[in-house]
Amino acid sequence: MSTEPEVLIRIEGAVGRITLNRPGALHALTTNMCRLMIDALQTWEDNPIVKLVLIDHSGERGFCAGGDIRMLAESGAGDGAAAREFFHTEYRLNHLLFHYPKHTIAIMDGITMGGGVGLSRPCRFRIATERTTFAMPETGIGLFPDVGGGWYLPRMPDSIGLWLALTGARIKAADCELVGVATDYIESAAVDRFKQGLVADPAHMETLLTEMEADPGRPPLAAHQDEIHRIFGLGSVEEIVAALEREDTDWAGEQLKVLATKSPQTLKVAFRQLKLGAEARTFADNMAMEYRIGARVVRRHDFLEGVRAVIVEKDNAPKWSPASLEGVTEAMLDEIFAPLPSDQEWTPLP
């Protein structure tokens, strides 16, 4: 049995280094990985040697595909306790990074989805490369765009965040800069040199970034920004779908086709989540809301069915229930968003 730790933690020079190390699962996060990262970050907060924290991944493929979805589904099929424990821990990590007092840098050199977004987005510097692919794909498996999606997505320009949340669209580096997911772009061939430069002299990080900054090209999303704003800024998922149906463009037709494959329950959950998240006073308030949602949806039909269809059996033919948007009632959503008993609510790290 392998004894490789799932996260490599060490200090190099003045840099606290966190390297995701679960390459067989595209570094999808486990509860244990979140705990290891929390412990390291808390230790480094008080360690004057550590000037900045660098988060990256081992091996060639991907930064982080998300969370340990199979575990979540197995837990959700039972009492859901392990799933709640995972969300509770993961969201504490997201929140710790959001308020972290030292510079944090994430290198998104590959797939950065779901849980990987929760790790990288709160970092102060978020480096994209030509290999970066960003998405919040959860509507496709009946989950929801968590890890702070309720906070970040509605704060993107022109309702692009809601479009990303509902369609699960994948975007590349130039679009990541357009919507604020990435702060900088360098070529993946320069990543090792960048890391070595950081370790050698962390004080010169910004100079280093300026020297290495490359051109990610034009953002393809800019061509659709106006219609995304006009359509995804509407007041309900039904209105968005109706507007897309009235639109006579290939793009609108593609969006409709994509939305038709997603969980109707999750579409409406995500819509309400982003509405409430837009109004949330603090990131912690948003995470408490997301924890309520997570605790409920992992035990519901659509998540178990989505994981079966997309991850386990891979027939990609989930049978959603309710099968249509009309079937997803406000009462159902009220149950999913309702407060938990006060001793079970999410709280940030003490």
Between residue 159 and residue 198, which ones bind ligand QUE under the rule CB under 6 A? none
Query: Are the C-beta atoms of residues 304 and 77 closer than 8 Å to each other?
Result: yes
Q: Would you state the structure tokens that stand for residue 112, as one six-digit string?
A: 């950065």
For ligand QUE, give the closer residue by CB, 27 or 195: 27
Backbone angles phi, psi at 156, to 5 degrees: -80, 155
67: contact with ligand QUE by CB under 6 A: yes
Q: Would you state the structure tokens that stand for residue 290, as one six-digit string?
A: 């997301």
For ligand QUE, give the closer residue by CB, 22 or 103: 22
Catalytic residue among 146, 187, 227, 305: 146
25: contact with ligand QUE by CB under 6 A: yes
Q: Tell me the per-residue interface mask from 283 to 312 with ligand QUE, x by CB under 6 A, - otherwise.
A: ---------------------------x--
For ligand QUE, give the closer residue by CB, 141 or 288: 141
Of 37-45, 79-87, 132-140, 246-254, the window that binds ligand QUE (rule: CB under 6 A) is: 132-140
76: contact with ligand QUE by CB under 6 A: no
The size of the interface with ligand QUE (CB under 6 A), counted in residues, is 14
Query: Are the C-beta atoms of residues 276 and 284 closer than 8 Å to each other?
Result: no
Q: Binder to ligand QUE among 55, 69, 164, 298 (CB under 6 A)?
A: 69
Catalytic residue flag (residue 76):
no
Q: How far apart (Å, rounded) are the C-alpha atoms in residues 264 and 240?
A: 13
For ligand QUE, give the closer residue by CB, 16 or 137: 137
Q: Tell me the per-residue interface mask from 220 to 239 with ligand QUE, x by CB under 6 A, - otherwise.
A: --------------------
Q: Would you state the structure tokens that stand for residue 349, as one six-digit string?
A: 């790290």
Backbone angles phi, psi at 194, to 5 degrees: -60, -45
Backbone angles phi, psi at 335, to 5 degrees: -65, -40
In the numeric block, the tokens 């004057």 are attached to 48
Q: Binder to ligand QUE among 66, 148, 216, 294 (CB under 6 A)?
A: 66
Q: Binder to ligand QUE among 118, 140, 142, 318 (CB under 6 A)?
A: 140
26: contact with ligand QUE by CB under 6 A: yes
Using CB atoms within 10 Å of the CB of residue 330, give its burial: 0 to 12 exposed, 13 to 18 middle, 19+ buried.
exposed
Q: Among candidates 299, 300, 292, which has minimal Cα distance to 338?
A: 292
Q: How far apart (Å, rounded) are the C-alpha atoms in residues 240 and 146?
A: 21
Least CB distance from residue 36 to ligand QUE, whole Å? 18
Catalytic residue flag (residue 79):
no
Catalytic residue flag (residue 168):
no
Catalytic residue flag (residue 110):
no
**Concatenated DSSP letters of 56-101:** EESSSS-SB--B-HHHHHHHHHTT-HHHHHHHHHHHHHHHHHHT-S
Query: Are the C-beta atoms of residues 177 and 214 closer than 8 Å to each other?
Result: no
Which residues contact ligand QUE by CB under 6 A?
25-26, 28, 65-67, 69, 114, 137-138, 140-141, 143, 310
Active-site positions?
Answer: 67, 115, 138, 146
